[in-house]
Amino acid sequence: MKDKSTYPMGEGVIREGDLYKVVSTYGKSFELRYGYYEECDRQSPICEPVVIYPDFQSEPVYTDGGEPFVTLMQDACVHYKGDAELCEDTSCAECRFFKSGEEWFGICTAYENRFKE
Ligand code: SF4
C-alpha cells in the first residue's frame, strides 16, 4: 500500500511538512511548507501534499506600514473594487487594491483594511 505521507516527484520525495521555500516580500518572510488543506485530502490515497499558503483572513499579518498581506486566491472582501461581480468566487487577484509581491503574495492597499490601533 502506498505511504500517504510521501510521493515521488522528480528525483526527490515530498513529505508533509517539507519546506517548499521561504518567500520574502514587503519586509516580511513566510515559510511555505507542503501539507494538506483538508483532513480528507490527507486520508485520500490519491491526494499528495501541496504547498500550503497562509490564511491571512484568519491570521492577519501586516506590513510595517499597516497594509494587510493577502494572497492572489484569497476570497475578496466587502471593500473589493474591480470589474468582476463580487461573489464567493471573486478573489483579491481581481481587485484594484491588490498590489502583487513574490509568489502568490501581495498586499491590500485599501484604506479600510489598513491596521488601525
Ligand atoms: S485586495 Fe483588499 S480590498 Fe481588494 S478584495 Fe482583497 S482584501 Fe479586499
Q: Is the CB of 107 under 6 A from ligand 1?
A: no
- Determine the pLDDT at residue 10: 53
Residue 32 in contact with residue 18, Cβ under 8 Å?
no
Distances (CA, A) of 50 to 18, 79, 88, 94: 10, 30, 23, 24
Residues 6 and 38 in one domain: yes
**Ligand 1: centre distance to CA 26 (Å):** 17
Q: How many domains, in total, are found in the chain?
A: 2
Residues 59 and 46 in one domain: no
Domain that holds residue 61: 55-117
Residues 33 and 62 in one domain: no
Residues 38 and 76 in one domain: no
Residues 14 and 33 in one domain: yes
- Determine the pLDDT at residue 11: 59
CA dist., res. 30 & res. 18, Å (int) = 14
- Report the Cα 25 to chain-centroid distance in Å: 13
- Determine the pLDDT at residue 12: 74
Residues of the chain with pLDDT under 70: 1-11
How many residues are recorded in the chain?
117
Residues 47 and 59 in one domain: no
- Determine the pLDDT at residue 117: 79
- Determine the pLDDT at residue 19: 97
Residues 62 and 107 in one domain: yes
Cβ neighbours around 49 below 10 Å, total: 22
**Ligand 1: centre distance to CA 10 (Å):** 37
Q: What is the pTM of this model?
A: 0.86
Take residue 112 and report the three cell numbers written for it: 479600510
- Determine the pLDDT at residue 26: 98
Radius of gyration in angstroms for the set of CA atoms belonging to the chain, rounded to a whole number: 17
